[in-house]
Chain A
Amino acid sequence: MNVWGVLLIAFLAGVEGVIDEWEFHQPIVACTLVGLATGNLVTGIALGASLQLVTLGWMNIGAAVAPDPALAAVVAAWWVSGPAHLPVAMGVIVAIPLALIGQGLTRGLRQLIVPLVRQADVAAANGNLRQIDWLQRGAVVSQGLRVLVPTALLMMVPTQWLQIGYQAIPAVLQGGLRVTAGLLVIVSFAIVINMMATRQLWPFFFIGFALATDSHLSLVALGLIGFGLAIIYLRLGHPHGGGTGPTSTDEDELDRELDDL
C-alpha cells in the first residue's frame, strides 16, 4: 500500500487536469496508476475504464471549466482499489461529486493565480526573464497541490467509516445506484455527439449504431469502416465544401454550455 505513490499520482493528475498534455488525469490512466500503487491493478483498471466512459464528454474548451476528472479519478480509485474496497459502481457514483469539487477548485485557483501573473508583469518590466520562468513553475506546482491536498485530506477518512456508510445504504438504493452508474455514460456520449452533430452527419451516427449491434465486428473494424466512409464522403465532394463543421457560433454556444456545467 503505497500512500506516497498515490499522492504523487494526485499531484501529476492535478497538473495535467489543467495543462491537458500527458493526460495523467484521465481516469483510464490515473485509476490504473492508483491501482498499481495500492497493489490492486485489476480493480484500478476496471474502475478507470468504466469512469473513462463517464468522463468522455468533460473537456476544457475556451474559457470554460468542465468537471475535473483528476480529483474524481484519484480519490475514487483510492476508495475502490485501496483498503476500503468499495465496489466499482460506487466508485463511479462518488466520482461525480468529487469532479464537481475539483471543478470548483480549478475555478478558484484561476482567480488566486492572478497576483502571480501581476508579478510576471513587474518582472517583464524589469527584464527579469528568470523570474518569469520561476513564476510559471510556481503555477505548475500550485495546480498539482490543487488535487494533492484534497486527496490527502480525503485519504485520512477512516476506512471503517466508508464501509459502514456503504453498508448503511438500503438495498434498493444500492441497486438503483448500480443502475445509475451504468447510465451515466449517456450524458457524456450526448455531450460529445452534440459537439459534432450537424444535420448531414446524423446518418453516420445511425450507420455506426446499426453496425455495432452486430457483435462480430470489432471496434477496430468499426473504426476502419468509419474512416473509409469519411474519405468517400470527402472525395465525392459535397456541395458546400468547407461550409460545415462547427462554426464560430456553435463554438460560442458550446463554451456557454460547458461554462454552465
Chain B
Amino acid sequence: MTDSGAPKTLTLGDQLLIFGRSGWEQAAWNYPRLQNLGFCYIMIPAIRRLYATDQAEMRAAAQRHLELFNTMPYMQSLITGVTLSLEEDRANGKPVSATDINAVKVGMMGSLAGVADPVWWGTWRPILSAFAASLALSGFGIVGPLVFFLGWNLVRLGFRWGAQRWGYRQGLKVVTSLSSGVLQQLTLGASIVGMFVMGAIIPRWTHVRLAPIIATSHQTTLSLQAMMDQLLPGLVPLILTVGCVGLLRRHVKPLWLLAGVFVLGIGGYWLGIFY
C-alpha cells in the first residue's frame, strides 16, 4: 500500500505466467479447502510483482488466496482476471480491502460454476468426444482422437486466455455484465444442442441387437430386430435410456444402473433375447 513512485502494473509477461499456471489449479484438490492451494499458486507471479517491496502485504496476499476456493476450472480464468485487477488496485493504494477481494472471488465462483459445469462437462465434452469416437469407429482411425484433442484444447486455451484478459481489463464491471442474463441464454442454447445431439447419438451408437428369430412358421421367419427396424430403428436403446433418466430422477444411484445393465446384458443373452 505504499504510494511510492510509478503505479504498479502487471506486465504482459506476468499475465502469461499466470495463464500458464492457471491450468494446474486442481492438482492439490483437498477436502476442507478444495482448490485453495491451486488458486494461490496461480496468483504467485502477481503477488511477487505487486508486493515486492512490502513483506507484510506479500504474506497477507498469499494467505488470503489460500482460503477456500472452488469453481469450474476454466471459469477460474475469469475470476483470476478480476482478482488480478483488484489486487493491482489494492497495491496502488485504492480502497480495496482483503475482504472485498475474497467476497468477489466467493461470489463469482459458485454462480460461474453452476453455469459452466453443464456447458463444458455436460454438453461440449460429450458432444465433441462422441463425435470423435464415431469418427474413429467409422473408419477414420487416428483422425477421431486428433479431432478431440485439438478441438478441446484450442477452444479451452482460447477461452482461458480471453476470459483472463477480459476479467483483468474490466475488473468489477464483469460482475454486472454477467448478471444481464447472457450466461443463462448461452446455457440454454448449449443445452438445446446437447439434448438434440444426445438424441441423435442413441440410435447410432448403442449396439442392442435383439435375437434374430421369434417365430418360424412354414416358410417365413419373423425377425424381431427386422420388425423393430421397420417400426423405428433404435427404439430399444431409446426406451432403455429414457428409463435410466427416469430412474436417475428418482435418485437411483448410477452405480445401481451399471449393475442393472450387467444383469440385463448377461440375463438377456442367456435367455436369448439379445445376441
Contact = CB atoms under 8 A, between A and B. Distances in A.
Interface residues on B, range: 35 or more
A208 B73 contact: no
Nearest to B36: A117
Contacts of B197: 208, 222-223, 226
B212 interface: no
B193 A223 contact: yes
A219 interface: yes
Interface in B159-189: 181, 184-185, 187-189
A46 B37 contact: no
A100 B87 CA distance: 42
Contacts of B98: none
Contacts of A96: 258
A9 interface: no
B255 to A, nearest CB: 6
A23 B184 contact: no
A212 B215 CA distance: 30
Nearest to B149: A29
A135 B28 CA distance: 9
A175 B269 contact: yes
Given A41-B142, A63-B70, A127-B59, A187 B257 contact: yes
Contacts of B142: 32, 41, 45
A104 B116 CA distance: 26
A6 to B, nearest CB: 16
Contacts of B55: 127
B73 A20 contact: yes
A1 interface: no
A186 to B, nearest CB: 5
Interface in B232-273: 232-234, 237-238, 240-241, 244-245, 247-249, 251, 253-255, 257-258, 261-262, 264-270
Contact of B274 (A133, A179, A230): A179
A3 interface: no
Given A50-B137, A63-B70, A251-B117, A193 B253 contact: no
B123 interface: yes
Contacts of B30: 110-111, 113-114, 116-117
A131 B232 CA distance: 62
B248 A194 contact: yes
Contact of A28 (B40, B136, B255): B136
A56 interface: yes
Interface stretch (B6-14, B100-108, B199-207): B199-207
Interface string A159-190: 00000000000001101111111111111011
Nearest to A15: B27
A22 B253 contact: no
B224 interface: no
Given A113-B28, A190-B245, 18 more contacts: A19-B25, A48-B133, A52-B133, A57-B126, A57-B254, A121-B63, A126-B59, A135-B28, A143-B27, A183-B240, A189-B206, A193-B241, A208-B198, A219-B204, A241-B184, A251-B113, A260-B253, A260-B255
Q: Which 3 A-B pairs have the closest CB atoms?
A: A208-B199, A180-B265, A176-B266
Interface of B: 23-34, 36-38, 40-41, 44, 47-48, 55, 58-59, 62-63, 66, 70, 73, 110, 113-115, 117-118, 121-123, 125-127, 129-134, 136-137, 141-142, 144-145, 148-149, 152-153, 156, 181, 184-185, 187-208, 232-234, 237-238, 240-241, 244-245, 247-249, 251, 253-255, 257-258, 261-262, 264-270, 274-275
Interface of A: 15, 18-23, 26, 28-29, 32, 41-42, 45-46, 48-50, 52-53, 56-57, 59-63, 96, 110-111, 113-114, 116-117, 120-121, 123-127, 129, 132-133, 135-136, 139-140, 143, 172-173, 175-187, 189-198, 201-202, 204-213, 219-220, 222-223, 225-227, 229-231, 233-234, 241-248, 251, 257-258, 260-261
